[in-house]
Structure 1
Amino acid sequence: MGKITVSMYLSLDGVMEEPGDWHMPYWDDEMAKFQSDVFYANDALILGRVTYEGFAAAWPKVKEEGADKMNTMPKYVATTTLEEPQWNASFIKNNIVEEVNRLKRETDQQYLIYGSGQLTRTLMEHNLIDEYHFMVHPVVLGKGKRFFMEQGQRGLKLAGVKTTTTGVAILSYQPSE
């Protein structure tokens, strides 16, 4: 059975939108190591269209450590608008819940989701996420797209806590059911 892990930057008020604009002042060696460990523990990415487009535009130009793996690992992209898969991607155009559930059932791969809020919320509603890593930054943005929107109550159990020298709380959770 496959496993799906989510890794997401959040502000204290739950904003996930455009982290490149606010998270970099908090980046440090501890966060880099954590992100590297999570990334290398996975076999493939599952991404929403917006995250995929941003990554596909940037990563092929990157020369630093991890770029080879990022550029060659399989990517499963939830999209109804994109037509031509590139960057080692396969598009999931129909029932995302059914397709992701099939991936989990038919493989033993480890899948990683970066950001991709709507996709993550959809999979969360159907109990398809196995682990969450929320990197909560010590900043209140006051506006922007929030990860936890109008969802029903969801119980999670704490699986780990780390704090970085810049004040980011790395909170790891698993579903409580």
Structure 2
Amino acid sequence: MGKITASIYLSLDGIMEEPGLWHMPYWDDEMANFQRDVFYGTDALLLGRVTYEGFAAAWPKMKGEGADEMNAMPKYVATTTLVEPQWNASFIKNNIAQEVTKLKQETDQQFLIYGSGQLIRTLMEHNLIDEYRFMVHPVVLGKGKRLFTEQGQRSLKLVGVKTTTTGVALLSYQPSE
């Protein structure tokens, strides 16, 4: 059975929106290694539409470590609006949870979600995420899109913790159920 890992940049107050505007001052080798470990253990990406559009606009132009792998990797995109898949993508248009469940059951692939808050919340509601990799930055943003909204209580089990030299907590959790 396939597994899904969600890799998420967060502020201390749970904001995940536009990390490119606030996370770079905290980037260091430890964060790079944390991200590299999850990326190179991945077979395919699961993305929401907004994250997919941002990545598809940027990654094909990139060179260097990870660019070829990212561009070649299959991408499954949750969208109701996009019609022409590009950048090695397939669209999931209806019943996201059901389609992702089917993907997990039909393969042993390791799926990775970057960003994509709405997709993560949908999959979380259906207990489809196997691991969460949070990079909690020492910054309070005060406003923006939150990862956790009013979904009800969730219990997670801490399976890894490290603090970077820049003060970012690298936390790995799995569902406790």
TM score, norm. by length of structure 2: 0.99
Which residue number in structure 2 is paired with residue 31 of structure 1? 31
Measure the CA separation in 1 of the matches of 2:85 and 2:125: 27
SS of equivalent residue, structure 1 residue 85: coil
Alignment of 1:1-177 (within 5 A): 1-177=1-177
* CA deviation string 1:51-77 (max 9, x = no partner): 000000000011010000000000000
What stretches of structure 1 of length at least 5 have no aligned partner? Answer: none
Give the gaps of 5 or more residues in structure 2.
none
- Whole-angstrom CA distance in 1 between matches of 2:162 and 2:128: 25
Give the fraction of aligned pairs with identical amino acids, expressed as a percent: 85
Q: Which amino acid aligns with 2:171?
A: L
The one-letter amino acid paired with 1:116 is S
Measure, in 1, the Cα distance between the counterparts of 2:20 and 2:64.
18
Letter in 2 for 1:94: N
| Aligned Cα root-mean-square deviation (Å) | 0.4
Q: 1:96: Cα distance to partner?
A: 0.5
Runs of 4 or more, structure 1, over 4 Å off, are none
Q: What's the offset of the Cα at 1:92?
A: 0.4
Matched residues in 1 for 2:21 and 2:30: separation? 20
Counterpart secondary structure, 1:113? strand
Q: Which amino acid aligns with 1:115?
A: G
Distance 1:101 1:171 in 2: 25
- Paired amino acid for 2:11: S
CA offset at residue 151 of structure 1?
1.1
Deviation at 1:97, TM superposition (A): 0.4
Residue 165 of structure 1: how far off its partner (Å): 0.5
One-letter amino acid matched to 1:103 = L
Q: Map Cα deviations across residues 53-112 of structure 1 (whole Å, 9 max, x no partner).
A: 000000001101000000000000000000000000000001100100000001000000
